[in-house]
Amino acid sequence: MDISCFAQDSEMTVTARTAEETVIEGYADADNTCAPVELPRLLLMKPPEHGVVCYRIEDFEVASDSGSDRACIGRWVRGISIFYLARPGYSGPDSLRYEAITDRRRDRVAVRVRVLPGFGNDAASPNDSPPEPAMSLGPIPACVGPVS
């Protein structure tokens, strides 16, 4: 995880599996002692059509550090992760856009999601459950329940 640099505009592709939470991206911003500085506010600009997104605050092991001292590589820092979960029975393409905003940066991210079929009962027909309402634009909600 890159702990102190937000790209201005970025695009990514993520592969997910039906009925399994998939991490889209994680963000952490730490000072030179690896203490958290600021978690970004996360705003959904275009909701996914076939799934939901949410966030969790968690600890990350730092793999890369854009700071000049690189002091946090290999250390754990507090950050925020964004997750995607496809609706039951759906497989195929999906997409979303969000912004990660701090006092210093605004990161605009476009995400293409490739949803693969689930395994066993997770691969149920989309008609097996009623459709869920579409997500609203605005703040991304916190995830409910344990990580799957």
Kindly report, residue by residue over 17-50, the tens digit of the pLDDT: 998 999 999 888 888 888 888 899 999 999 999 9
Domain ranges of the chain: 9-121
d(CA 57, CA 71): 22
Average pLDDT, the chain: 83
Residues 86-110 have pLDDT tens digits of 999 999 999 999 999 988 888 899 9
Sequence-separated (6 or more) residues with CB below 8 Å from residue 18: 86, 88, 89, 90, 91, 115, 116, 117, 118, 122, 123
Token pair in block for residue 107: 């990161």
- Decide: residue 21, CB within 10 A, 0-12 exposed, 13-18 middle, 19+ buried: buried
Residue 2 has pLDDT above 50, yes or no: no
Domain 9-121 has what CATH class?
mainly beta
